[in-house]
Structure formats: C-alpha cells, structure tokens
C-alpha cells in the first residue's frame, strides 16, 4: 500500500496547486489523476479558449487596420487548423510545465481513477490494476465539474456540442446556435463571430451574463449585436430537430415561438460537480445537490477530508479552486488558513472584456446598504480613444454613509487586469475617497476607475457637469 501524508484526488487547478503547496510544506504527497494534469481549465477550458480568443482578437484588429492609418496589402484569412494548432501547442507547453513542477516538488502522480474505501484510504484503478493509497494526515477532493446536458428532445443529435466539443471543431461552422448566455456562451459567441460564423445566442433569463451586475450584460449584448450576433434573452429552446442543412431549434421568445436553423448547436448552460463514483458514502462525506459542502477552511463534515474547486458547488473559477487548494493543504498540515470570497474577481474574456468584484448594485441594495453609484464611459478616456476601443464603462458601487467601496464592475479592454484594483480596495475596506486620492497614471484605462469614483459624488472631471 502506498503511504502519503496528503492524498489529492484530482489534478485540475485546485488539485495540482494543493499538491504543490503541501509538498512545499514538507509533506509526502500523492496526486491521483485519471486524465491529464491541469484538468478542464488547462486542457479544455480556460487556457484553450483564451488562446483561440487571442487569435480572434488579432484577426479583428488586423481587419480594422485602416482605421489606424495602416494599409494591409493582400487578403487576410483565418487558417482555422493553424489557429487550433497554436492552441494545442500552448496547452502542451503548460501541461508539461505543471508535470515538471509536480515532479520537482516530489509529488507522486498516480494515473488512474480514485475512490474512497475508508475515510483516509482510497483505491486507484490504473492500467495495471488496483492500488490502495493511505493518507496519514488528510485527503483533498478536487474532482472538478462537467458540462450540464439539457433534458430536451434532440440533444442527442449529431452536431450538438458541449464546450469541449466546440474547442475541438476541425472546421468553422457557417451557423452556430449557442444555448446559454453566461460566461462560456458569450466567450464562444465572440470567438466564432470574429471568424465570420453566423452566431445566435439564446439566454433563458432577461439579460446576458445574468449573474453579474445588471448593466454589464446589456452593454455586451449591444456590442455583440453590432458585430452581427443575434441575441435572444428571456427565451428558451424547447427542442432540436434534424434538418436538411443541419439542425432546427424551436425557441420560445417573449414575442412568440420562432425557428432558428444552425449547422452546430453549443450547449453552454453551466457545469455540474463531479461527485459520482467517488465512494463518498464510504468516507462518510456529506454531499448536497450543488456539491460537497465545505467551510472557509475547505473542510468537509469529516475531519481530515477537504474539498476544493468546482466539486464544492461554489464559484466555478480556476482562481477560486487554486486558492482553495492552498488553504486546504495548509490546514491539513497544521496551519490556519481561510478562503474569503469577498474579493473573488469574475472575468469574461470577450472583446471588450467584462469583469466584476464585490457586490453588484442590486446585491448591495438587497443587503440593506444605502447605495451610491458612479459611472464613467470609456469614450471619455484618452487611452481608450488611442486604442480605438471605446465600447464600455466603469461602474463603482459604494455605500453612502462612509463611502466604502462595495463593488467594481467594468466592460473594457483588459478589464480582467484592471479589476484587481477593486479587489485590493475591498480587502482593505477602502473608501471612494481613498480611490480618488490614489494617483493613476495618464494616459491609462485605470484612470476611468478613479473618474468613476469621482462620479459617485458627481465630480467626474472628464464628464460634462
């Protein structure tokens, strides 16, 4: 039987980071992974989608070259196989990097499927048989999630894809219907529309990005619409049928039923935690419908068993899983650590990007705050004008009594980089006055954050009063 101090079940962002942190703290670590290390995020999620989105962004920029005084001689065309090849090369490089980190840290990687047979004992089904593993100090469950499949007629038809299938397409479809207007749906809409695919998005709720601040989704929908993406909100697909030219979707909209034809249909309605066939009942680990409940230390109901990332049913974000992995490893090994969700950034890598941290305006009001809001449009920001990217705005949500920052929301180029100023301000319980007093370089997009803070009190300098 293999003996380890810490056993990690799953090698995605939460799992491999937990293994590295535990090893750095001096523990003997075994990591069980059925497929490739890096999990969904690195292999069929965050990284490959961002690689493809970067190709889309470069292509879109070259197509606008003349607006910058540049003349492109000859025809510019996307080479989809080459774009896919670049994506795969990036994934291979990063997977290899994670494998190297684990090896140099002394983590023993077991290739196979693991399941509990007792609270601190697991068995791993490998290509050569079944190997028992015992954890002397604790186990970290990091088995991630998988795409949700809708229980609708026609979902089994050829041409219906999940996000993994969309990433593996060998050629661009002429028409793509995306069911779901959340983060995954809008990123794929932006990606494929950039390369000339006729994209339609159907979202059941009343706006795109329904979990983010209410001003963000409509703004993104407007930009996507300007690029030819057709967006239906407050609508739902009721069935799919085969058609001569591909697939036919029946969609119920606020104005009645309509038919949408497409060559491919991408289902992007969320993900479900992977909790099945883990032997959780043998370990006594409680599992609710959304996932495995944990406290801020990532502890389950069983001492010495922790869970991190998507499997917990919490925010399905790689950076939350990574921090959770660090927290779990530290607590198993006698340290004290907690995962605080107050400063979790949410980032959407469309063009322009969308990002949020803290409370939305609606959430702040629901929690009883007297709310003050400041907005600043990018078309009044010098750097955005020089870049030729003026779609978007910065929105600051604060409470009225002390001026404490409650939330920061952006739709802007590089919003995913800009959002961390808001996260730090929330962690420090900073006020609007402190944001204003912080010097921001000129010309930068970051100046728009300060202007939005000034706008909270009606004093934005670069807006007409």
User: Which residues does the annotation mark as catalytic?
Assistant: 442
Count helices and strands (H / E) in the chain: 15, 22
Burial class (CB in 10 A: 0-12, 13-18, 19+), 191: buried
Cα torsion 402, 405, 411, 413 to 10°: value is: 120
Distance CA 145, CA 237 (A): 24
Distance CA 409, CA 37 (A): 33
Distance CA 331, CA 21 (A): 11
Contact 29, 8 (CB under 8 A): yes
**Which three-class secondary structure state does DSSP give residue 287?**
coil
Residues contacting 276, CB < 8 A, separation 6+: none
**Which three-class secondary structure state does DSSP give residue 419?**
coil
Nearest Cα neighbor of 185 from 270, 263, 123, 262 is 270
Distance CA 108, CA 7 (A): 10
**Which three-class secondary structure state does DSSP give residue 193?**
helix
Distance CA 236, CA 252 (A): 5
* 155-158-163 Cα angle (round to 5): 70
Q: What letter does residue 343 receive in the DSSP assignment?
A: G
Cα torsion 266, 271, 274, 276 to 10°: value is: -80
Please list the alpha-helical segments (H only) found in 260-381: 280-283, 318-332, 361-366
**Which three-class secondary structure state does DSSP give residue 239?**
strand
Question: What CA–CA distances, in Å, run from 74 to 62, 71, 77?
Answer: 12, 10, 10
Residues contacting 199, CB < 8 A, separation 6+: 175, 176, 177, 178, 189, 192, 193, 228, 229, 230
Question: What CA–CA distances, in Å, run from 154 to 175, 254, 345, 444?
Answer: 18, 23, 36, 49
């Amino acid at each position: 039987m293999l003996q380890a101090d810490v056993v990690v079940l799953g090698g995605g962002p939460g799992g491999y980071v937990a293994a590295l942190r535990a090893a750095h703290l001096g523990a003997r670590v075994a990591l069980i992974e059925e497929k490739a290390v890096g999990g969904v995020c690195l292999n069929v999620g965050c990284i490959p989608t961002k690689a493809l989105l970067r190709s889309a962004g470069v292509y879109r920029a070259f197509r606008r070259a003349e607006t910058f005084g540049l003349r492109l001689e000859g025809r510019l065309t996307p080479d989809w196989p080459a774009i896919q090849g670049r994506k795969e090369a990036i994934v291979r490089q990063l997977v290899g990097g994670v494998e190297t980190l684990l090896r140099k840290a002394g983590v023993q990687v077991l290739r196979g499927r693991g399941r509990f047979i007792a609270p601190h004992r697991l068995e791993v089904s490998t290509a050569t048989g079944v190997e028992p593993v015992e954890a002397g100090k604790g186990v970290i469950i990091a088995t991630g999630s998988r795409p949700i499949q809708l229980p609708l007629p026609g979902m089994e038809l050829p041409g219906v894809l999940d996000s993994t299938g969309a990433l593996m397409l060998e050629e661009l479809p002429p028409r793509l219907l995306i069911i779901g207007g959340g983060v995954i749906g809008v990123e794929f809409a932006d990606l494929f529309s950039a390369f000339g695919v006729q994209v339609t998005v159907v979202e059941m709720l009343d706006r795109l990005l329904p979990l983010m601040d209410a001003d963000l989704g409509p703004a993104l929908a407007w930009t996507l619409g300007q690029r030819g993406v057709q967006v239906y909100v407050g609508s739902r697909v009721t069935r799919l049928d085969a058609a001569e030219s591909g697939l036919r979707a029946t969609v119920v909209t606020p104005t009645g039923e309509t038919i949408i034809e497409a060559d491919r249909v991408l289902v992007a309605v969320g993900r479900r935690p992977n909790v099945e066939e883990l032997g959780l009942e043998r370990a006594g680990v409680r599992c609710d419908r959304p996932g495995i409940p944990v406290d801020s230390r990532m502890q389950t109901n069983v001492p010495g068993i922790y869970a991190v990332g998507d499997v917990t049913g919490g925010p399905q974000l790689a950076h939350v899983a990574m921090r959770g992995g660090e927290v779990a490893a530290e607590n198993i090994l006698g340290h004290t650590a907690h995962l605080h969700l107050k400063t979790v950034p949410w980032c959407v890598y469309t063009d322009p990007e969308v990002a949020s941290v803290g409370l939305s305006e609606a959430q702040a009001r629901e929690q009883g705050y007297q709310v003050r809001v400041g907005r600043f449009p990018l078309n009044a920001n010098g750097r955005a004008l020089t870049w030729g990217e003026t779609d978007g705005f910065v929105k600051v949500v604060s409470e009225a009594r002390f001026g404490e920052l409650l939330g920061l929301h952006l739709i802007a180029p590089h919003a995913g980089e800009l959002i961390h100023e808001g996260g730090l301000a929330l962690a420090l319980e900073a006020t609007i006055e402190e944001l204003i007093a912080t010097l921001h370089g000129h010309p930068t997009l970051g100046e728009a954050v300060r202007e939005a803070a000034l706008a909270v009190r009606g004093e934005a300098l670069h807006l007409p009063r």
